[in-house]
């Protein structure tokens, strides 16, 4: 485990959870005291203050990277040199160029690699994706993903050089991969229109952003990210298809509401208060997807297949983020530049209704308050749009 910060803590909690036999065998921190304290808390046998030593340690067969963004490439390079499997947290890199270098190096080396994008593994998301795959929503036209909280917990996040950006790279990377999963990871993201601004915090990076991503089949992804949202962590997704809709709320108001007049300690990540009405999360590492994510990663290794989330996915996410930042600067739609596209190239446009009524194309059917059914119809020869009430009451 590289890193003893917030994500190192959550990953270890997930890996050591329940009756799991998976174990963190060695933990790396620059600071020996922090490494020892972490090892004591989680009952880990070995510590290291040198990153290469932890990676090469004989007890380490898989390396989990929980370090700031600017250290991902260095850590992955060391894993390649040590010929160790590597699982890297999000975002894979700070730019698509850096991500592509990582991807190429890892693929050339042949080591196993997985992209730790937990939010596509939440139990709700896995079920929702299954329903989408089974056609419950018809064709997916639109996906909205929102992640917002009051800002990150460590200084490096606020530094553009180390993080690669602000709220967009930090939170938008989750949203983009959620959107890709629902719209189809094989559908190419073509272009992006993005707004961002620094509304509150005294930083160079953006603390708010909104983007629209247009996919080759006409579907649209929309994300909203904020480091200035007050009231906890807001994680919501909405999926719209030709035949159905899904709304997901992963964190606040998920069915667990508690009132406390005193300080009861930690409530949930980024919760801003310990008293009043609170929205705790039952099993945070499970509900945020960490448990299912590691299960998929390790099963993939055992089965000799790729995990659901790969470094290639991380590269595509970085390419979309790059286009977001270009669009913020140009104030125009900007192309998503993917040197390496592995998805489909033969896509049809989504969403065309093809139902015909008496030689006319059905535009819309609606049941009115008086119980009558109204049809809106288009004459394909003239283009004229007319309406008809069923049961012979044309008007
Ligand atoms: N849901 C998620 O998937 C999720 C959530 C939070 C963070 N992350 C990602 O995890 C990574 C770490 O984030 P975090 O929240 O754990 O940050 P953190 O600040 O809580 O922890 C970072 C760790 O890296 C160490 N570190 C910092 N600078 C270092 C340096 N120069 N050399 C060596 N070690 C250094 C710190 O001591 C600490 O152990 C980031 O890439 C972040 O985007 C992912």
Could you tell me the CATH number of the domain that includes residue 141? 3.30.360.10
- What are the tens digits of pLDDT across the range 250-307? 988 888 999 998 877 888 889 988 999 999 999 999 999 999 999 999 999 999 999 9
The average pLDDT across 96-122 equals: 98
Cα–Cα distance between 229 and 167 in angstroms, integer? 11
- Decide if 105 is inside a domain: no
The ligand 1 atom nearest the CA atom of 173: 43
Query: Could you tell me which residues come within 8 angstroms of residue 262 by beta carbon, excluding any fewer than 6 positions away?
Result: 274, 275
* Alpha-carbon span 179 to 313, nearest angstrom: 12
Query: Confidence class of residue 33 from pLDDT cuts 50, 70 and 90?
Result: very high
Q: What are the tokens at 5?
A: 């910060």
328, two tokens: 């913020």
126 in the same domain as 155: yes
Mean pLDDT confidence for 242-251:
95
The rounded Å distance from CA 155 to ligand 1 centre is 10
pLDDT at 253: 82
What sign results for the dihedral spanned by CA atoms 317, 318, 321, 326? negative
Residue 73 lies in a domain: yes
Say what the pLDDT of residue 214 is.
Answer: 98
Give the residue numbers spanning the domain of 59: 6-90
Looking at the structure, tell me whether residues 206 and 247 fall in a common domain.
Answer: yes
- 277/139 same-domain check: yes
Residue 26 clears pLDDT 80, i.e. is over it: yes
Residues with Cβ within 6 A of ligand 1? 3-8, 29-30, 66-69, 71, 89-90, 116, 118, 153-154, 156
Say if residue 176 is in the same domain as residue 248.
yes
Tokens of 276: 């009043």
Question: Which of 90, 109, 144 delimits the end of a domain?
Answer: 90
Q: Where are the beta strands (DSSP E) in the chain?
A: 26-28, 46-48, 62-65, 85-89, 113-116, 140-148, 189-197, 208-215, 220-226, 234-241, 245-249, 258-260, 276-278, 334-335, 356-357, 360-367, 373-378, 385-389
218 and 328, same domain (yes or no): yes
Report the mean per-residue pLDDT for the chain: 96
Residue 346 lies in a domain: no
* 143 and 72 within one domain: no
Same structural domain, 130 and 44: no
- Residues 210, 265: one domain? yes
Q: Is residue 63 part of a domain?
A: yes
In a domain, 368, yes or no: yes
Give pLDDT, residue 39: 98
Name the pTM for this structure. Answer: 0.96
Q: Could you tell me if 30 and 50 are in contact, meaning their C-beta atoms sit under 8 angstroms apart?
A: no
- The protein residue whose alpha carbon is closest to atom 17 in ligand 1 is 5
Give me 18's structure tokens.
Answer: 């329940």
Q: What is the mean pLDDT of residues 53-67?
A: 97
For range 357-375, the mean pLDDT: 94
Domain count, the chain: 3
Q: Please check whether residues 175 and 31 belong to one and the same domain.
A: no
pLDDT of residue 105: 98
Tell which atom from ligand 1 comes closest to the C-alpha of 154: 19
pLDDT of residue 377: 96
Residue 391 has pLDDT above 80, yes or no: no
Report, as an integer, the average pLDDT of 12-31.
97
* Beta-carbon contacts of residue 95 (< 8 Å; ≥ 6 apart): 164, 318, 322
Indicate which atom in ligand 1 lies nearest the CA of residue 8.
Answer: 16
> Cα of 127 to ligand 1 centre, how many Å?
29
Whichever domain contains 46, its CATH number is 3.40.50.720
116 C-alpha to ligand 1 centroid (Å):
13
Give the nearest ligand 1 atom to 170 CA. 43
- Per-residue model confidence as pLDDT tens digits over 165-201: 999 999 999 999 999 999 999 999 999 999 999 999 9
> Each residue of 124-148: pLDDT tens digit?
999 999 999 999 999 999 999 999 9
In a domain, 185, yes or no: yes
Maximum mean pLDDT: which of 9-18, 272-281, 354-363: 9-18
Domain contains 296? no
171 and 69 in one domain? no
Dist CA 325 CA 328 (whole Å): 5
Tell me which of 43, 72, 90 is where a domain ends. 90
Ligand 1 atom index nearest CA of 117: 3
Atom in ligand 1 nearest the alpha carbon of residue 9: 16
Q: Say if residue 11's pLDDT is above 80.
A: yes
pLDDT of residue 103 exceeding 50: yes
Distance 357 CA to ligand 1 centre (A): 59
> Are 201 and 263 in the same domain?
yes
Judge whether 96 lies within some domain. Answer: no
Mutation choice for ligand 1 from 67, 78, 117, CB with most ligand atoms inside 8 A = 67
Q: What is the pLDDT of residue 35?
A: 98
Say yes or no: 163 and 78 in one domain. Answer: no
Q: Grade residue 394 by pLDDT with cuts at 50, 70 and 90.
A: very low
CB 71 within 8 A of CB 3: no
Probe ligand 1: pick from 1, 2, 3, max atoms within 8 Å of CB?
A: 3
pLDDT-based confidence at residue 392 (cuts at 50, 70, 90): low
């Amino acid at each position: 485990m590289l890193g003893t910060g917030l994500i190192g803590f959550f990953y270890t909690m997930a890996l050591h959870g329940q009756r799991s036999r998976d174990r963190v065998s060695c933990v790396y921190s620059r600071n020996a005291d922090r490494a020892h304290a972490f090892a004591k808390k989680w009952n880990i046998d070995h510590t290291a203050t040198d990153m290469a030593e932890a990676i090469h340690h004989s007890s380490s067969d898989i390396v989990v990277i929980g370090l700031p963004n600017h250290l991902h490439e260095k850590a992955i390079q060391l894993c390649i040199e040590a010929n160790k499997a590597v699982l890297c947290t999000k975002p894979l890199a700070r730019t698509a160029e850096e991500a592509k270098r990582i991807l190429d190096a890892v693929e050339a080396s042949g080591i196993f690699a997985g992209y730790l994008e937990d939010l596509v593994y939440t139990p709700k998301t896995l079920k929702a994706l299954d329903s989408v795959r089974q056609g419950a929503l018809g064709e997916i036209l639109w996906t909205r993903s929102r992640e917002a909280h009051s800002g990150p917990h460590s200084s490096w996040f606020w530094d553009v050089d180390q993080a690669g950006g602000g709220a967009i790279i930090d939170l938008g990377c989750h949203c983009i991969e959620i959107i890709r999963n629902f719209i189809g990871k094989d559908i190419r993201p073509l272009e992006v229109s993005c707004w961002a601004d620094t509304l509150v915090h005294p930083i160079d990076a953006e603390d708010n952003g909104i983007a629209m991503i247009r996919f080759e089949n006409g579907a649209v992804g929309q994300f909203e990210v904020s480091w200035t949202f007050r009231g906890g962590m807001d994680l919501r997704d909405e999926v719209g298809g030709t035949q159905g809709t899904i709304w997901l709320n992963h964190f606040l108001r998920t069915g667990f509401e508690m009132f406390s007049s005193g300080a009861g300690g930690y409530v949930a990540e980024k919760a801003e208060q310990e008293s009043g009405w609170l929205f705790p999360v039952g099993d945070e590492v499970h509900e945020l997807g960490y448990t299912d994510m590691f299960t998929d990663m390790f099963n993939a290794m055992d089965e000799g297949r790729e995990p659901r989330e790969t470094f290639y996915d991380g590269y595509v996410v970085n390419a979309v983020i790059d286009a977001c930042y270009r669009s913020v600067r140009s104030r125009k739609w900007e192309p998503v530049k993917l040197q390496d596209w592995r998805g489909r190239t033969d896509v049809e446009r989504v969403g065309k209704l093809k139902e015909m009524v008496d030689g006319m194309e059905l535009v819309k059917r609606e049941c009115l308050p008086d119980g009558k059914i109204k049809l809106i119809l288009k004459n394909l020869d003239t283009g004229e749009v007319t309406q008809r009430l069923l049961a012979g009451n044309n008007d």
